[in-house]
Amino acid sequence: MHHPTHLIHRDLRRTPPVAVCAFGLQVRDSAGNTYLDASGGAAVSSLGHGHPDVLAAMQAQLKVAAYAHTSFFTTEVAEELGDRLAQDAPGDLNHAYLVSGGSEAVEAALKLARQYFVENGETQRRVFIARRQSYHGNTLGALALGGNEYRRRHFEPLLMDVARVSPCFEYRERRAGQDVHEYTANLLQELETKIIDLGPQHVIGFCAETVVGATSGAVPPTPGYFKGVRALCDKYGILMIADEVMCGMGRTGTLYAFEQDGVVPDLVALGKGLGAGYQPIGAVIARDHVVQRLRAGSGVFQHGHTYVGHPVAAAAALAVQKVIRRDCLLGAVTVRGAAFRRMLREAFAMHPHVGDIRGRGMLLALELVQERDGKRPFDPDLQVHAAVKEACLECGLMVYPMGGTIDGRRGDHVLLAPPFIATEADLQQIVARLADGLERALARVRPG
Ligand code: PLP
């Protein structure tokens, strides 16, 4: 549909198709095209579209109370969601602060972390450490934390200083012949040196995505990496902040991706899969000691938005959590994620332009390269990721490709994050359409 619009769309020169109906893995537009949702939008729709339990829970809550400002009231549904999140989180991650999305969750985590030290009289602590090739959201604090040059470039003068270390990105950064343990040890050494150079007494925390989502494409950490990070945070008394906005809430087969790395961060940012797209909701989950310090100090978290703790959003998220548990969807993610990966390997392992197939659970990606052997990326001017997205849509498939130049490195990847309810037949269909879409796209961009 191309008509004049009063909305500011992402692309100001183009109105995207109008979604008129979405159910399960299918989305239909007003022109009658249907698309199979292999990316859950942007790794959001973990239960697919139109789930009856979630719709019913939201409707019921709308009748109880559509809104209650948190300076006046709490609500039963928000309390129940807090209990559920605390109960299901490992360790003493017993406290939830409900916001409206991923960037807000990251902002709240940054402020909570800073206030934690202020309450202790450590007002000199003002630096966060994060990794290059990372994305933590688009509000100014979250954007400053992230290392995504493309998203930062217009706003650099407005962004707070953040100290950077290398990403943990085995495919791109581990030297040929270098042992993975040595690679990991070097990364941890770099982090320790950074902390020492900054002066540990000035550092608030280290923040990283457990499995990196959009900037690099479903990049899992190397074995032992996060255990090493946790040990360094403990050694120097700084907070470990996990951004699980994309990889959390079951997407990797455990409720939190870091459970597979044997660590418990001090603060966790959630978004996307928490409400699975039914409502805008995010959360910060905090350990006992963080909240205790504020409770024993000023007694107030100096933060808040009009929509924190929104009851209908809480109802949606609570219903999503209940469905995940009742329908054993974490197990399904592990089993079907492994099947999906096998299918992707069968289809693309020998593909001349697929350099890597990676990820965890149902958060997977293909890295696209000009040449497999030297891992040479495509020329960014070719915009391969954009061509893949468009060609896949033509084939009736939603995938989430990204690319461009980040941190001086180039690369294109296709992120795949199907709903947890996808069947094997759905996954086969996704792989078949992706193969078609990829060939179409490559035929368009390949020189000669
Ligand atoms: N953190 C990560 C890891 C993300 O992937 C995203 C969104 O893509 C965000 C934060 C920001 O979340 P939102 O877009 O909901 O503000």
Amino acid 223 reads P
- Domain ranges across the chain: 19-50+328-445, 53-326
441 Cβ closer than 6 Å to some ligand 1 atom: no
Whether 216 and 413 have beta carbons less than 8 Å apart is answered as: yes
* Rounded average pLDDT over 95-102: 98
- Ligand 1 pocket residue status of 217, Cβ below 6 Å: no
Cβ atoms 395, 436 nearer than 8 A: yes
The complex's ipTM works out to: 0.99
Tell whether ligand 1 has an atom less than 6 A from the beta carbon of residue 221: no
pLDDT of 403 reads 86
Tell me whether the CATH fold assigned to 19-50+328-445 matches the one assigned to 53-326: no
57 C-alpha to center of ligand 1: Å?
A: 25
Is-above-0.90 flag for pTM?
yes
DSSP per position, 77-144: HHHHHHHHHHHHSSTT--EEEEESSHHHHHHHHHHHHHHHHHTTT-TT--EEEEESS----SSHHHHH
pLDDT of 85 > 90? The answer is yes
Asked whether 251 lines ligand 1 (CB < 6 A), one says: no
User: Is 216:363 a contact under the CB 8 Å cutoff?
Assistant: no
| Angle formed at CA 282 by CA 363 and CA 93, multiple of 5 degrees | 85
Whether 106 is in the pocket of ligand 1, judged by its Cβ within 6 Å, is: yes
How much distance in Å is there from the Cα of 31 to the middle of ligand 1?
A: 30
SS3 (DSSP) at 396: coil
pLDDT per position as a tens digit, 288-313? 999 999 999 999 999 999 999 999 99
Which of 246, 247, 268, 413 to mutate to test ligand 1, by most ligand atoms within 8 A of the CB atom?
246
- Distance (angstroms) between ligand 1 centre and the Cα of 248 equals 11
Q: Which residues fall within 8 angstroms of residue 245, CB to CB, at 6 or more apart? A: 102, 105, 106, 136, 137, 209, 213, 269, 270, 271, 272, 282
Distance 345 CA to ligand 1 centre (A): 28
Interval 89-108 mean pLDDT: 98
Per-residue model confidence (pLDDT) at position 214? 85
Kindly give the distance from the C-alpha atom of residue 137 to the centroid of ligand 1, in angstroms, as a whole number.
5
Pairing of strands 34-37, 397-398: parallel
- Cα diameter, the chain: 68
Nearest CA to ligand 1 atom 6: 137
- Is pLDDT above 60 for 448? no
Residue 396 C-alpha to ligand 1 middle, in angstroms?
A: 25
Nearest CA to ligand 1 atom 12: 102
- Residue 376 phi/psi, 5-degree rounding, is -70, 125
CATH code for the structural domain at 53-326: 3.40.640.10
pLDDT in tens, 327-361: 999 999 999 999 999 999 999 999 999 999 999 99
Q: What are phi and psi of 115, to 5 degrees?
A: -65, -35
Ligand 1 pocket, residue 132 CB under 6 Å: no
With a 6 Å cutoff on the Cβ, whether 244 touches ligand 1 is: no
Q: Indicate the class that CATH gives domain 19-50+328-445.
A: alpha beta
Is 258 near ligand 1, meaning CB less than 6 Å away?
no
